[in-house]
Structures are given as C-alpha cells and as structure tokens.
Amino acid sequence: MSRRPLIAGNWKMNGLKADGIALADGVAAKRRAEPDLACDVLVCPPFLLVSDVARAVAGSGLAVGGQDCHAKTSGAHTGDTSPVMLKDAGCSHVILGHSERRTDHGETDAEVKAKAAAAHAAGLVAIVCIGETLAQRDGGETLEVNRRQLKGSLPEGANADNTVIAYEPVWAIGTGRVASPEQAQEVHAAIRAELVKLVGETEAGKMRILYGGSMKPENAAQLIALPDVDGGLIGGASLKVEDFWAIARNCG
C-alpha cells in the first residue's frame, strides 16, 4: 500500500504576524519551486495568523490547518474557535488532541473524539494526536496507551480521507530526544493494526500515520522511510524554512 506522505508544521504558539507571514511566504516559495514534490505539505499557524497565512500561500499547493477546534459549530463558548470558522478562514486540516492540549487544557479522548466528528462535519481533515509519556513507556504501557487513546479519540465515520493519525511520544516533543526507528515502527505498526479493527482493513491501509517529536532534517529520512511512518508532524523545525523544507524533501 503506498501512501503519499504528509509533512505538517505545527507552529504552536510562536510568531507574530510578520514572522508568520514571512515563514508562510518562504515555505510557499519552496513549494512553488518544486511542483513534483513527493509529499503533501501543511502548515498550522496560531489561530490569529490563519487568515493571513492562508492568503500568503494561496495557489502554492500548501495546505493550512488549525491547531485545535471546538466541538460545536457556534454558540456561547468564549475564547473558542469552531471548525466551520477554521474552514471559512482557509483551513483544510485541524490538529486535535495534541499532548500539549491534553496537558494544558485537560482534553480527554472523548473530547478529542467529539472535536474530530465536528471537524469532519465541517469538511476538515482531523489530525488526531496520541502518544505515551515517559512514565508510561518506562512502565511498559506504550502500546496499550496508544491503542486506548486511538480507540477513544476516533469518531464514527473516520476514514483515510478525513483522518490522519499522529503518533507523538510525549517524551520526544521539544526535547531533542527522538524515537529510534525501531521504537517508532513498533508503535506505528501497532496503531495500524488497531486501525484495522476500528476502521477496517482498507481504510487502515490507506490512513496516514505521522511521527512527531524532535523530527529534524538529520533524522527525518530514516523515520519517514519506515514502513508504517507516513510523514511527520513537526514543531520546532517547522519554524525555519530551510529546516522544514529539508524534511519535506526527504520524502522523495
């Protein structure tokens, strides 16, 4: 089964307007210069920059995503952003259930599932994030934790067109400590096996599973080449045009 890799930049809460537009312009210029690139490329700016970034990359082939959304379309939810609003602002994707949201905002699997269903209803691709902590890995619970989060976070109707999974071991995020190829492949294969149960063999075979956690130009090729790794969700290295693009070029 050949799956087209996806390279997604999660800018997190970084950059002011001028920085975001410069970064978007830089990545869009790279994308325009390489129309035959072997992967899809997505940038996920902070909410306030989504519209500006969507304008900056229009027509370049780059996709734009949000970093979270509410499970409702509209209403009395102060400070929240609905999936319909993201779509309206130019997003095609939304990251959901990132470990930083699970930690900072106490998001549960059930909430992630509701958000993913809402994202699907709005026509967005949900990038559903899962991953174990260091304590869970040390406790030998890695596969069990990832299976449980996956099962709890995937809504009815999830398929390979509307859903991407991101495996992000919490201990590898922003730490410079990357999963070894063996560790990554073991978990990705377990996730795919669980997906067979949840969405059926055909969709599981087509669904992209990204690796995230200290992915850099130096380690990306090795990770992306693994049989069940279908690209990356990149934090720190997505904030530099050259680094992000070096990772995207590793997909060939």
Ligand X SMILES: O=C(CO)COP(=O)(O)O
Residue in 6, 10, 118, 224 binding ligand X, rule: CB under 6 A: 10
Cα separation, 143 vs 141, in Å, equals 6
Compute CA distances 175 → 24, 46, 63, 112, 169, whole Å: 25, 21, 27, 25, 11
**162 annotated among ligand-binding-site residues:** no
- Using CB under 6 A as the binding rule, the residues of this chain from 95 to 124 that contact ligand X are 98
Q: Which residue, among 24, 33, 5, 108, has the nearest Cα to 64 in the 3D structure?
A: 24
Compute CA distances 225 → 106, 181, 200, 232, 249, whole Å: 34, 9, 24, 11, 12
**11 annotated among ligand-binding-site residues:** yes
DSSP 179: P
Active site residue 98: yes
Distance of closest approach, residue 67 Cβ to ligand X, in angstroms? 9
Selected range binding ligand X among 26-34, 79-87, 150-158, 229-237, rule: CB under 6 A: 229-237
Residue in 139, 174, 200, 252 binding ligand X, rule: CB under 6 A: 174
- Using CB under 6 A as the binding rule, the residues of this chain from 16 to 45 that contact ligand X are none
- CA geometry: angle at 232 spanning 98 and 214, to 5°? 75
CB nearer ligand X, residue 61 or residue 174 = 174
| Binding of residue 67 to ligand X (CB under 6 A) | no
**219 annotated among ligand-binding-site residues:** no
Residue of closest CB approach to ligand X: 235
Q: Copy the structure tokens of residue 157.
A: 């109707």
For strands 125-130 and 163-167, give the pairing: parallel
Residue in 212, 220, 228, 250 binding ligand X, rule: CB under 6 A: 212
Known catalytic residues are 98, 168
Interface positions with ligand X (CB under 6 A) = 10, 98, 168, 173-174, 212-215, 233-237
- Tell me the binding residues for substrate: 10-12, 174, 214, 235-236
